[in-house]
A and B are shown apart, each in its own frame.
Chain A
Amino acid sequence: MSSILIVEQLSRIYHRHQPDEIAALREISLQISAGEVVALTGPSGSGKTTLLSLLGCMSRPTSGNIQLRNRNVSKLPERFLAQIRRETFGFVFQQYHLLRDLSVLENVMLPLYPSNQPLGEMKKTAIKILEQFELAGMMKKKIKQLSGGEQQRIAISRALVTNPEIIIADEPTAHLDSELSQDLLQILAKLNQSGKTIIIATHDPGVYQSSLIQRRFNLRHGQLVEGQSS
Chain B
Amino acid sequence: MLRQLKILEFTLSSLLRRKHKNLSLIAVYTFTIATLGSVLFLTHALKLEATGSLTTAPDLVIQRVAAGRHDLIPTKYAEVIKKLPGVESVTPRIWGYYYDSLIKANLTLVGTNSHQGKLDLLEGRLPNNPKECAIGIGVSKAFGPAIGDNLVLEDSKKSRIVFSITGIFRAESNLLTNDLVVLQEMALRDFFTMSPQLATDLVVQVHNQREVKTLAKKIKYHLPDTRPITREEILHTYDTLFNWRSGMMLAVAVAALIAFCILAWDKATGISAEEKQEIGILKAIGWETSDVLAVKFWEGLVISLTSFILGILAAWIHIFVFGAPALVPLLKGWSVLFPEFQLTPAVDFYQIFTLAFLTIVPYLACTVIPSWKTAVTDPEHVMRG
Chain A positions within 8 Å of B, measured between CB atoms, are: 49-50, 53, 56, 58-60, 78-79, 82-83, 85-87, 91, 93, 97, 99, 101-102, 106, 110-111, 113-116, 118-119, 122, 158, 162
List 10 extra interface pairs beyond A78-B288, A114-B288, A116-B3, CB under 8 A: A58-B284, A58-B379, A82-B286, A91-B284, A97-B284, A99-B281, A102-B13, A114-B286, A114-B291, A119-B9
Closest 7 CB pairs of A and B: A86-B286, A53-B380, A59-B378, A58-B380, A59-B380, A82-B288, A101-B17
What residues of chain A lie closer than 8 Å to B9, measured between beta carbons? 119
Quick check: A113 and B288 within 8 Å, CB to CB?
no
Of B2, B287, B381, which is within 8 A of A59 by CB?
Answer: B381
Quick check: A162 and B286 within 8 Å, CB to CB?
yes
Quick check: A83 and B284 within 8 Å, CB to CB?
no
Of A60, A85, A97, A111, which is within 8 A of B383 by CB?
Answer: A97
Most buried by A among B284, B285, B379: B285
Residue of A nearest to B13 (CB): A106
- A59-B379, A99-B278 known; A113 vs B10 contact (CB < 8 Å): yes
- Indicate whether B277 reaches chain A with its CB closer than 8 angstroms: yes
Quick check: B380 and A158 within 8 Å, CB to CB?
no
Quick check: B290 and A158 within 8 Å, CB to CB?
no
Of A97, A102, A111, which is within 8 A of B286 by CB?
Answer: A111
Alpha-carbon gap, A85 to B383, bound state (A): 15
What residues of chain A lie closer than 8 Å to B64, measured between beta carbons? none
Most buried by A among B17, B18, B280, B284: B284
- A97-B277, A119-B6 known; A113 vs B290 contact (CB < 8 Å): no
Give the bracket for the number of chain B residues in contact with chain A.
20 to 34
Distance in angstroms from A137 CB to nearest chain B CB is: 22
Distance in angstroms from A138 CB to nearest chain B CB is: 18
Alpha-carbon gap, A2 to B379, bound state (A): 29
Of A82, A86, A102, which is within 8 A of B17 by CB?
Answer: A102
Interface of B is mostly: helix
- Indicate whether B198 reaches chain A with its CB closer than 8 angstroms: no
Residue of B nearest to A159 (CB): B285
**A-B pairs with beta carbons under 8 Å apart, 13 shown:** A53-B380, A58-B378, A58-B380, A86-B286, A86-B287, A93-B284, A106-B13, A113-B287, A113-B291, A114-B3, A114-B287, A114-B291, A119-B9
Residue of B nearest to A53 (CB): B380
What residues of chain A lie closer than 8 Å to B2, measured between beta carbons? 116, 118
Alpha-carbon gap, A91 to B280, bound state (A): 13
Distance in angstroms from A161 CB to nearest chain B CB is: 9
Most buried by A among B6, B283, B289: B6
What residues of chain A lie closer than 8 Å to B383, measured between beta carbons? 93, 97
Alpha-carbon gap, A114 to B368, bound state (A): 19
Alpha-carbon gap, A129 to B2, bound state (A): 23
**Which residues of B, 1-38, contact A by the 8 Å Cβ criterion?**
2-3, 5-7, 9-10, 13, 17-18
- Indicate whether B282 reaches chain A with its CB closer than 8 angstroms: yes
- Indicate whether B176 reaches chain A with its CB closer than 8 angstroms: no
Alpha-carbon gap, A217 to B6, bound state (A): 41
Of B13, B285, B289, B291, which is within 8 A of A158 by CB?
Answer: B285
Quick check: B290 and A79 within 8 Å, CB to CB?
yes
Alpha-carbon gap, A125 to B5, bound state (A): 19
Quick check: B284 and A85 within 8 Å, CB to CB?
yes
Residue of A nearest to B281 (CB): A97
Alpha-carbon gap, A54 to B80, bound state (A): 98
Quick check: A87 and B286 within 8 Å, CB to CB?
yes
Quick check: A110 and B285 within 8 Å, CB to CB?
yes
- Indicate whether B376 reaches chain A with its CB closer than 8 angstroms: yes
Residue of B nearest to A96 (CB): B281
Residues 352-383 of chain B: 1 if any A CB is under 8 Å from the residue's CB, otherwise 0? 00000000000000000000000010111101
Residue of A nearest to B9 (CB): A119
What residues of chain B lie closer than 8 Å to A58, measured between beta carbons? 283-284, 378-380
What residues of chain B lie closer than 8 Å to A79, measured between beta carbons? 288-290
Distance in angstroms from B71 CB to nearest chain A CB is: 75
Alpha-carbon gap, A87 to B287, bound state (A): 11
Alpha-carbon gap, A59 to B381, bound state (A): 8
What residues of chain B lie closer than 8 Å to A116, measured between beta carbons? 2-3
What residues of chain B lie closer than 8 Å to A53, measured between beta carbons? 378-380
Of A49, A59, A85, which is within 8 A of B285 by CB?
Answer: A85
Residue of A nearest to B282 (CB): A110
Quick check: B13 and A83 within 8 Å, CB to CB?
no
Distance in angstroms from A91 CB to nearest chain B CB is: 6
Quick check: B379 and A113 within 8 Å, CB to CB?
no
What residues of chain B lie closer than 8 Å to A78, measured between beta carbons? 288-289, 376
Quick check: A101 and B18 within 8 Å, CB to CB?
yes
Residue of A nearest to B379 (CB): A58
What residues of chain A lie closer than 8 Å to B6, measured between beta carbons? 113, 119, 122
Distance in angstroms from B250 CB to nearest chain A CB is: 40
Residue of B nearest to A54 (CB): B380
What residues of chain B lie closer than 8 Å to A102, measured between beta carbons? 13, 17
What residues of chain B lie closer than 8 Å to A101, measured between beta carbons? 17-18
What residues of chain A lie closer than 8 Å to B277, measured between beta carbons? 97
Alpha-carbon gap, A102 to B18, bound state (A): 11
What residues of chain B lie closer than 8 Å to A91, measured between beta carbons? 284-285
Quick check: A82 and B3 within 8 Å, CB to CB?
no
What residues of chain A lie closer than 8 Å to B288, measured between beta carbons? 78-79, 82-83, 114
What residues of chain B lie closer than 8 Å to A119, measured between beta carbons? 5-6, 9
What residues of chain A lie closer than 8 Å to B5, measured between beta carbons? 119
Residue of A nearest to B5 (CB): A119
Alpha-carbon gap, A110 to B14, bound state (A): 12
Distance in angstroms from A13 CB to nearest chain B CB is: 13
